[in-house]
Amino acid sequence: MECDILVIGAGPAGLWAAKTAADFGLDVVILEEHPSVGFTKHCSGWLLGCEFTYRFFKELKNTLPHQNVSRMIVADPVSGNIEEDIEDTGWGGYLVRREFFDRELARLAILSGAKLFLNAKGNFLIREDNQVVGTKTSSTRLPEVRARVIICADGMKSATVNGFAKREIASESEAETYPGVQMELVNVRDVVPGVIEIYGSNDPMLAGRALWPHGNGITLASFSSVNTFFQLRSRQDNILSYKLALSFPLYMSSYLNRRKMGHFYQQLTKDGIIFVGEACGCSGIIHGMISAYYAVLAAKRAIQSGNRSFNADKQYEYMVRNSDIYKNPFCYRGIKNYYGSYKNWLERSKEIKTD
C-alpha cells in the first residue's frame, strides 16, 4: 500500500496527526499494533488546559464523557500540610477516560478520510537512498506500507529496545525508563471529581503519588507495583493510605515512564521519519498532539513542494524547538526543579499556543 502520510501508532499524537493530515486532503494510513484503540492505558487522562485544548475539545464535549478540572492540591501525606492549593485559572482542562478519548479521536480521523489498520505493528523501516520510505508490518493483510512522509507516534514503547526512537534517535540516557502500574480505582475516600491531589514525601512509597478523580466514583492513580498499592492501602500513618483503604481496582495496566519525562530528545527526526509525542520525548497528551500538528504542517509543505524529506525534517525541528511546548515541557516528575512550583507550571502551561 502507498499513501501520502503513514502514521505509526494510534495514540492521541498519532491520531491527531492522522486527522489533521486527512483534513488537509492528504491520503493517510494509521498502523496500530493492538487489536483495539485506547488500550493499554498508562496515564491519568488529563487534558491540560490551554487554547489548543479548548479549541479542539468543542468537537468532543457532547459525545465524550469528561470531568472538568477545577483545582490542584499539593500536600504532604504524613503531616497533612497543604503546600499548594491552586484554583483553575484556565489551566484545568479535562479528565477523560483514555479508551473513550482515543477511540473518539480515531473516529474523527476515519471520518476525515484516514485509514486505520489494527493488529498491524510497524516492524522495520524501509530505506531507499538513505531515506525512510515506509515500513514492513506484522500484518499479513498489509505486509508493507510506503509513504511520502512517515510520522512515528509509537509512544512510550519507542524508548524500549524494539522501539523506533531507541533504534533511531535516542541515546541510552534519554531513553532510560522505569516501570509502574496504572489503576482505575473505585471507592477512594474523600476525593472530589476534578480536584487533582499530588503528594510529596521523603517516603519513597508515597513520593510522587497522585489521585486523579474522574466522575462516577472512578479515580486514576499510578504505583510502582501492584504490591506497593496494597501495602499503601493497608498503612495507617498517612492521608493517602486512608483514602485508598477501602478502594479496589477495576483496571490495572503496567507501563513504562522515562526518567527524563517531558524533555525532548536531542534528535527529533532521522532520514525522513518525523517523531512525535512520547516518541520524540514529548510527554503529556496535549503536548504530544501539538507536536503531531507541527509534524503534519511540515509534511504538508514538503509534499506540496515535492521535497519529501529534507524540508519536512528541518521545518518540524524548527517549529518544535521554537514552540511553547518545548519551552514549557510536561516534565511532571520534575516540576519543582524546572518551574519552581506547581502554580508556576500551570500558569505558564495555560498560555501554550500553536501559532
Within 11-97, residue ranges assigned H as helices are: 12-23, 51-57
Residues 289 and 190 in one domain: no
Question: What local confidence, expressed as pLDDT, does residue 347 receive?
Answer: 98
Tens of pLDDT along 105-148?
Answer: 999 999 999 999 999 999 999 999 989 999 999 999 999 999 99
**Cα torsion through 10, 13, 17, 18, rounded to 10:** 20
Q: What is the predicted pLDDT for the residue at 332? A: 85
* DSSP symbol at 157: G
Same domain flag for 139 and 221? no
The pLDDT value given to residue 223: 95
Residues in the chain predicted with pLDDT less than 50, given as ranges, are: none
Q: Is 353 part of a structural domain of the chain?
A: no
Paired residues of 184 in beta bridges: 220, 251
Cα(142)–Cα(116) distance, rounded to whole angstroms? 11
Are residues 92 and 110 both part of a single domain? Answer: no
277 is a domain residue: yes
Question: Angle, to 10 degrees, between the axis of helix 12-23 and the axis of helix 285-305?
Answer: 40
CA–CA dist 18, 10 (Å, integer): 9
Domain that includes residue 34, residue range: 2-44+97-176+261-322
Domain-terminating residue out of 230, 258, 286: 258
Q: How far apart are CA 144 and CA 133, in angstroms?
A: 11
Residue 330, helix vs strand vs coil:
coil
Domain presence at residue 331: no
Report the run of H or E that residue 164 belongs to, with start and end. Answer: helix 164-168
Asked if 111 and 248 sit in the same domain, the reply is no
Q: Does residue 120 sit in helix, strand or coil?
A: coil
Q: Which of 236, 258, 280 is the last residue of a domain?
A: 258
Across the chain, which distance is largest between two alpha carbons, in Å?
Answer: 65
Q: What is the model's pTM?
A: 0.96
Task: Answer yes or no: do 27 and 134 share one domain.
Answer: yes
Same domain for 112 and 217?
Answer: no
- From the list 354, 345, 334, the residue with the least C-alpha distance to 48 is 345
Q: Please report whether residue 188 resides in a domain.
A: yes
Do residue 39 and residue 125 come from a single domain? Answer: yes
How many domains does the structure of the chain reveal? 2
Residue 232 inside a domain? The answer is: yes
Pair (90, 189) in one structural domain: yes
pLDDT for res 310: 52
- Domain annotation covers residue 355: no
Q: The domain spanning residue 162 has which CATH number?
A: 3.50.50.60
Q: Are 275 and 144 members of one domain? A: yes
Do residues 171 and 275 both lie within one domain?
Answer: yes
Q: Does one domain contain both 295 and 230? A: no
CATH number assigned to the domain comprising residue 75? 3.30.9.10
Domain edge (last residue) among 208, 232, 258 = 258
Please check whether residue 349 is in contact with residue 50, taking contact to mean a CB–CB distance below 8 angstroms.
Answer: yes
Do 111 and 208 belong to one domain?
Answer: no
Residue 237 in any domain: the answer is yes
